[in-house]
Amino acid sequence: MPTFTAFTTLFGKEAAETLGEAMERLEPEPTGVGVFEVEDGSGLWEIGGYFVEAPDPAGLGLLAAMFDTKPFVISELPETDWVAHVKRELSPVVAGRFFVYGSHDADKVPAGAVALLIEAAMAFGTGHHGTTLGCLRALDRLVSDGFVAKRVADIGCGTAVLAMAAAKVFPNPTVASDIDPVAVDVAQVNVVANDLADRVQCIEATGFDHPDLTAKAPFDLIFANILKAPLIDLAPSMAKASANGGFVILSGILNEQAEDVVRIYCANGYSLYSHEEIVDWTTLTLCRNEEM
**Residue 124 has what pLDDT?**
46
Q: What is the mean predicted confidence (pLDDT) over 198-214?
A: 95
Residues 141 and 272 in one domain: yes
Residues 73 and 177 in one domain: no
**Residue 107 has what pLDDT?**
83
Q: Is the confidence at residue 237, as pLDDT, over 90?
A: yes
Q: Which of 110, 124, 139 is nearest to 186 (CA)?
A: 124
**15: alpha, beta or left? (left if phi > 0; alpha if psi -120 to 50):** alpha
Q: For residue 214, give its domain range.
A: 131-288
Q: Strand, coil or helix: what is 285?
A: strand
Q: What span, in angstroms and rounded, lies between the C-alpha atoms of 189 and 183?
A: 10
Q: What are the distances in angstroms from CA 56 to CA 59, 66, 225?
A: 5, 16, 33
Residues 169 and 243 in one domain: yes
Q: What span, in angstroms and rounded, lies between the C-alpha atoms of 217 and 227?
A: 23
Q: What span, in angstroms and rounded, lies between the C-alpha atoms of 46 and 19?
A: 10
Residues 69 and 136 in one domain: no
Final residue before a domain boundary, out of 77, 93, 111: 77
Q: What span, in angstroms and rounded, lies between the C-alpha atoms of 268 and 122?
A: 34
Q: Which of 72, 80, 36 is nearest to 54 (CA)?
A: 72
> How many domains, in total, are found in the chain?
2
Residues 26 and 146 in one domain: no
In a domain, 98, yes or no: no
* pTM, entire model: 0.70
Per-residue model confidence as pLDDT tens digits over 4-32: 889 999 898 899 999 999 999 999 989 88
Q: What span, in angstroms and rounded, lies between the C-alpha atoms of 273 and 40?
A: 35
